[in-house]
Amino acid sequence: MIFTLTLNPSLDYILKVCDFKLGQTNRSNEAYLLPAGKGINVSLMLKNLGYESTLLGFLAGFSGAEIDRSLRELGVIGDFIFLDHGHSRINVKLSSTQESEINASGPKIEQKDLEKLFAQLDCLSDGDILVMSGSLPIGVDQGIYAFVMQRYEKRNLKMIIDCSGEALQKTLPFRPYLIKPNRSEVEEFFSLQNPSLEELKQCAIDLCHMGAQNTIISLAGEGAIFATNHEALHISAPCGKVKNSVGAGDSMVAGMIAGIERGMSEKEAFLYAVSCGSASAFSDGFAKLEDVEKIFKILKENQ
């Protein structure tokens, strides 16, 4: 089974403004609310690819209830823990001549809430996939993902990590199956400024030397890098009109999982991951399966 863990889910309030002017009153020509958070995004993309997953994490208040309702409406299975206090965060995403966003911090998580989560994770079985991704809410230590990996390291679980900084660094000794930082997160991790493609490829290999079994570095319009201990492969992004970059990296994670579930090699699954990320970037929401397959065919032919 596939599980995605989103410790700090959100409602994304997406506003489209033709020409946003800072310091002035602006009116949107389109606005809508979407349930979001990295793990949630992975599950939504997996649903489009034909794979069911169970969403884990914390919800609170009226916004948490709306996240749960929206996901059920979309046909995604949630097994969230509802907190006694606070409300799930509402993030503002502004789409104009440039994309901007304001992300809230979210509710405070108490130890009793974490114990409920561990009770859920205790039920995972050998062979299950657990995606742990996204920012951490108030009250949760940066080492939480590493703690989960250590707690279940004797089980045959595929742990996939998409986070940054200290939270990522602490997971590496426990050999996550896959990590997926983006360019800016890698630059911060290695204290680099404007690294070349070859330097980024070496960073991907170095992350594997530090413990990751596989590393994907997402590079937005430049495609992505895939690395193991011994080699790194760069795939350029296919041509297309970018409509929405939000969730493209999470779509890549979903694509990698789908590829593995389909019995692909890790390199072929990486091509499928890039296809998913690109297809979602070219879509208003998460990409449909047929759009992914078209891009995947093109990428395979170009290899």
Q: So where are the chain's domains? A: 1-140
Q: What is the mean pLDDT of residues 126-132?
A: 96
Residue 230 confidence (pLDDT) above 80:
yes
DSSP 183: H
- Kindly list the distances between the CA atom of residue 276 and the CA atoms of 144, 255, 265, 291, in Å, as whole numbers in the listed order: 28, 6, 16, 8
Residue 244 confidence (pLDDT) above 80:
no
- How long, in residues, is the chain? 303
Q: pLDDT tens for residues 152-192?
A: 999 999 999 999 999 999 999 999 999 999 999 999 999 99
Share the mean pLDDT of the chain. Answer: 93
Residue 74 confidence (pLDDT) above 90:
yes
| Superfamily grouping for domain 1-140 | Ribokinase (3.40.1190.20)
Q: Is the Cα torsion angle 236, 266, 163, 248 positive or negative in sign? A: positive
Q: What is the mean pLDDT of residues 45-60?
A: 97
Supply the pLDDT for residue 16: 87
Q: Please report, to the nearest 10 degrees, the dihedral formed by the alpha carbons of residues 159, 161, 165, 171 taken in order.
A: 0
* Active-site annotation, residues: 250
